[in-house]
Amino acid sequence: MSVTGFELVSLHEAKLHAFIDGDDQNALLQKLVTHSSEIVEEYLGRKLVTRGAITEHHTFWKSWTTLYVREWPLITVTEVAEDIGREYATALVVDTDYMVKLPGGKIIRLSGSSPTTWQTGFEAVRVIYTAGYADTAAVPTPIKDVVNKHFALTYREIERKQQGMTGMSDDLGNFSRIGAAKLTADMKDQLAECRAFESSWTHE
C-alpha cells in the first residue's frame, strides 16, 4: 500500500525500524511514511524518486560554461536547446554542443571539443531530462535511515498523544523536554552529503 508511490522507504521497512507489529494501523502508518519522506525531500531540496520527464528553463546573465540541473541523480538528458526568443526550435547536439556528467547533473556547453558559454538572457536555455532514483528500493541507505528515524519519532508522539509538543510539566512542576517530530541535528548531519548544492545551480 502506498499513498504517492514516491515514498523513500516502504511501510514494511518503517514498521521494522519502529518495532511495530500488526496491520491494524497500516493506513495511519502509511501516511506517516509519506509525511516523513516529504520532510526529508523538502530538506534536501529535491525529489528523490523519479517523477518522469522534467522541463527546466535556465537564465544566464554572465558567461558560464556549466549548467546544473535542479534534480539529481541525473538519469538521462532528453533535449537541450537555447534560444533568446524562447522558441527552442533547434535542439543542441550531445557531445558536440554539450556534454553531460552523470549522476551529478552537470551539463557543459561545448563548441566542438572545447568548452564555450551558454546563451545569455532570460530563460534562454531549456533542458528536458529525467532524474532521481528508480524506485523506493534504490534510495540510498543513509536517506532511508533518516526517514525511518523521523517516522518512528512522529509515531511515538502520536502514541503518547503529544504530537507537535516540545515539552510538558507534571503537577509538581517538573519539566520534561520531548521534542517535536522534526529533523534533529543528527538527522541533518546524516543528510549533509545528500543535500542539493543550491550554490551550484544556475542563477537568474
In whole angstroms, give the CA distance from residue 176 to residue 133: 40
For the stretch 58-117, pLDDT in tens is 999 999 999 999 999 999 999 999 999 999 999 999 999 999 999 988 999 999 889 999
CB atoms within 10 A of CB 15: 23
Provide the percentage of residues in the chain whose pLDDT is more than 90: 74
**What are the structural domain ranges in the chain?**
11-48+135-195, 53-132
pTM: 0.80
For the stretch 21-53, pLDDT in tens is 999 999 999 999 999 999 999 999 999 999 999
Does the pLDDT at position 178 exceed 80?
A: no
The set of cell numbers assigned to 102 is 552523470
